[in-house]
Structure 1
Amino acid sequence: MIVKLDDSLLQIEPTLKIGIIHYTKIVVTSSPQMLKGRLQLFQEQLFFELEEKAVTEFTGIKEWRALWKKFGADPNRYRPSVEALYRRIAKQNYITPMHSAVDLNNFFSLRYEIPMGIYDWKKIQGNVTLALGDEEKNYKGLNGRDNSLNHILTLSDETAPFGSPFVDSVRTAVTEETTDALQIVFLLPSMTIEESQKILESMGAMFTQIHGGDATSTLLIKDQNEWRI
């Protein structure tokens, strides 16, 4: 499989950085109490912070909203997934635990203030491209709706689109049957390469600590915009 960041995105935002982590031989289960407790505590602390600070004042959310506009989408209508999570927490509508992979993915998203996606490797068909969606790009999302991806950064395989920093599709969702996964980390353009790499290494280490298996990662950037896995 080749995962490629389309040149058109880099023309719009030359400092765009996309992290990729490939997990193999993992075991996805209901979340251990440690992860549930950590996710709950983080949300509770964030709720109190959100009483004093607007969602749009958080650095990561502010930066992704600006990037949304550069791509031509309306962040007030189609919010980056991390912003949607923060808005839920501001209403004390805390995230309900699902399973270890999704719960940890949400924890990473909240902690680093960035959108995240995790996908079942075996459900992805062929090579993957990250590019801007158009009016014809859509899929049934995990939010239970048919979602338009017009002007939204979109992950597509050789069959159809399956993911984005807005909402992911049902087709490639990770379940407790998943043994190999692809995690996409929508990093902040303002992050340095060194900082981005450290985040990917930290995520991979924590994920395999809980799920077992192995993790390999890379960073897609200008002049290094594809990875053969």
Structure 2
Amino acid sequence: MKFELNSTLLNIVPTIKLGINHYTRITVSESPQMLQGRLRLFQEQLFFDLDDKLVTDYPEIKEWRKLWKQLGADPNRYRPSAEALLRRIKKQSYIDSYHTAVDLNNFFSLQHKIPIGIYDLELITGDVVASLGTENDGYAGLNGRFNSMKNIVHLSDDISSFGSPFVDSTRTSVTSSTTDALHVFYIPPSFDVKKSLELTTACGNMFTSMSGGDVRSYVVHEGQSSIVLDED
């Protein structure tokens, strides 16, 4: 399977970067108490941190909002997922535990203040392309409604769109049956490739320490706009 950054998207935002973790032979299950407790404690810490600041004060959130506008989308209507999570926490509406994959995905997103999505590789058909959505792109999302991807960075395979830094689709969602997964980190454009790979690799190592299996980490960017995932 190939993962590619579309050239049109790169022409608009040459500094865009996506971190990729390819997981194999993982086990997705109910999160251990340690992870559930850590996720809850971190949310409580963020709640107090947000007592005297705005969600948009975080530089990573500012960057994604700026990118949203650069691409033609409205960040106040279609908020990047990390911003949406932080706004929930500011209202003390904490995120409940779901399973190891979702809990770790949420933890990483809150920790790094960036959108992140995780997808079941068995439910992806053909190659994956990250591109700028049009009025013809969209999908049924985990938020319970159909979501247009117009002017939003989105991931698509041979079937349709399935992921974005806004909300992910139900079609490729990770379940307790997932053994191979694609973890996509929507890196702030200001990060260099080295910092982006370090972030992606650190998260991948923590993920497999909880879920077992193996991980290979990559970053797609202007200098290397496509990678091939080893499916062995």
Query: TM class by shorter-chain length?
Result: over 0.9
Instruction: Name the SS for the 1:50 alignment partner.
Output: helix
Quote the Cα distance in structure 2 between the aligned partners of 1:172 and 1:105: 15
Quote the Cα distance in structure 2 between the aligned partners of 1:209 and 1:112: 19
Which residue matches 1:164? 164
Which residue matches 1:90? 90
Which residue matches 1:219? 219
Quote the Cα distance in structure 1 between the aligned partners of 2:79 and 2:190: 20
Quote the Cα distance in structure 1 between the aligned partners of 2:201 and 2:146: 34
Q: Cα RMSD (Å) of the superposition?
A: 0.6
Instruction: Name the SS for the 2:191 alignment partner.
Output: coil
Which residue matches 1:182? 182
Q: Indicate yes or no: 2:26 matched with 1:20.
A: no
Structural mapping, 1:185-196, within 5 Å = 185-196=185-196
Which residue matches 2:144? 144
Equivalent residue letter for 1:77? R
Structural mapping, 1:1-229, within 5 Å = 1-229=1-229
Quote the Cα distance in structure 1 between the aligned partners of 2:105 and 2:36: 12
Shift of 1:8: 1.2
Shift of 1:195: 1.1
Instruction: Name the SS for the 2:129 alignment partner.
Output: strand
Shift of 1:164: 0.3
Quote the Cα distance in structure 1 between the aligned partners of 2:28 and 2:110: 20
After superposition, give the CA deviation of every residue in 1:106-162 in whole Å (9 maximum; x if it has no partner): 000000010000000000000000001111111100000011110000100001000
TM-score of the superposed pair, with normalisation by structure 1: 0.99
Shift of 1:85: 0.2
Shift of 1:200: 1.2
Quote the Cα distance in structure 1 between the aligned partners of 2:62 and 2:215: 30
Q: Name the % identity.
A: 55
Shift of 1:223: 2.2
TM-score of the superposed pair, with normalisation by structure 2: 0.98
Quote the Cα distance in structure 2 between the aligned partners of 1:63 and 1:36: 29
